[in-house]
């Protein structure tokens, strides 16, 4: 098998830019997987079933107040870089990473997204106050979903 070091370097750069821990690309019978390691691999509790609102425009139950319409282009929006399952704490019985009204620093972990059995910490892109939490523990998340707002 011929190793494409340029492709591996590009995938590693994508990992750094997105905060992902693993990425896999396949073309024909060739596959490349780049993995930073198993960050948070001890977190393996099965999430409780979560009912999703039938209307995606309805605010999710994690908000204590009705949020303003938040889109991914909002300067304080923290969007999901992948499809996965959100975990709001590092372990099932541990306190949540952040709560509404909490102050966060750039780089603080806000949530863990599990994708294909890999735990990916999603970090704050800036310092500020968490004004909206739009995810619940165990909730399925789609690429680009707004999960938090930091003002």
58-90 pLDDT, tens digit per residue, is 444 444 344 455 665 678 899 999 999 999 998
Residue of 53 and 31 predicted with greater confidence = 31
Residue 134 corresponds to which tokens in the numbers above? 């739009």
Residue 51 corresponds to which tokens in the numbers above? 């009912």
β-strand pairing of 109-115 with 77-79? unpaired
Count of domains forming the chain: 2
29 inside domain: yes
For residue 47, what pLDDT is reported?
45
b/e string for 50-85 if b means 16 or more Cβ within 10 A? Answer: eeeeeeeeeebebeeeebeebeeebebbbbbbbebb
Same domain, 29 and 81: no
91 inside domain: yes
132 inside domain: yes
Q: Domain residues for 109?
A: 77-150
Are the beta carbons of 128 and 76 closer than 8 angstroms? yes
For residue 53, what pLDDT is reported?
47
Tens digit of each residue's pLDDT (9 = 90 or more) over 78-128: 999 999 999 999 888 899 999 999 999 999 999 999 988 889 999 999 999
Q: What is the DSSP track for the chain?
A: ----HHHHHHHHHHHHHHT-SEEEEEETTEEEEEE---TTTT--PPPPP-PPPSSTTSPPTT-SSPPPP--TTSTTEEE-SS-EEEESSSSTTSPPS--TT-EE-TT-EEEEEEETTEEEEEE-SS-EEEEEE---TT-EE-TT-EEEEE-
Q: Average of pLDDT values for 30-57?
A: 54
Same domain, 31 and 81: no
125 inside domain: yes
144 inside domain: yes
- Side by side, the strands of the sheet bearing 77-79 are 77-79, 146-150, 128-133, 103-104
């Amino acid at each position: 098998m011929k190793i494409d070091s340029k492709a591996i370097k590009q995938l590693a750069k994508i990992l750094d830019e997105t905060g992902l821990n693993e990425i896999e690309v396949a073309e024909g019978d060739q596959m490349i997987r780049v993995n930073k390691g198993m960050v948070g691999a001890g977190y393996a509790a099965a999430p409780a079933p979560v009912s999703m609102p039938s209307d995606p425009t309805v605010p999710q139950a994690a908000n204590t107040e009705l949020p303003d319409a938040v889109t991914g282009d909002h300067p304080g929006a923290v969007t999901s870089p992948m499809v996965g399952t959100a975990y709001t704490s590092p372990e099932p019985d541990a306190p949540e990473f952040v709560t509404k009204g909490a102050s966060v620093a750039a780089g603080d972990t806000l949530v863990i997204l599990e994708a294909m059995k890999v735990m990916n910490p999603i970090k704050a892109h800036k310092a500020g106050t968490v004004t909206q939490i739009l995810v619940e523990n165990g909730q399925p998340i789609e690429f680009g979903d707004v999960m938090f707002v930091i003002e």
